[in-house]
Amino acid sequence: MKLHAAAILVIFCLGIFTVHTVKGSVGSQSMRKYSCVNLSTQQLNIRNLIGYEMHRVPVQAVMFINTKGIRICVSPNQKWVQSAIRRIDRARTTRGK
pLDDT tens across 6-28, in order? 666 666 555 555 544 444 444 55
Q: What is the pLDDT of residues 39-90, one digit of tens each?
A: 999 999 999 999 999 999 889 999 999 999 999 999 999 999 999 999 999 9
Calculate the CA dihedral of residues 52, 61, 71, 49 and round it to 10 degrees.
40
Question: What pLDDT shows up at residue 95?
Answer: 74
Please report the beta strands in the chain, taking only residues with DSSP state E, as ranges in sequence order: 49-55, 61-66, 71-74
Question: What pLDDT shows up at residue 22?
Answer: 46
**Position 75: which residue type?**
S
Position 30 confidence tier, pLDDT thresholds 50, 70, 90: low
Question: What pLDDT shows up at residue 21?
Answer: 45
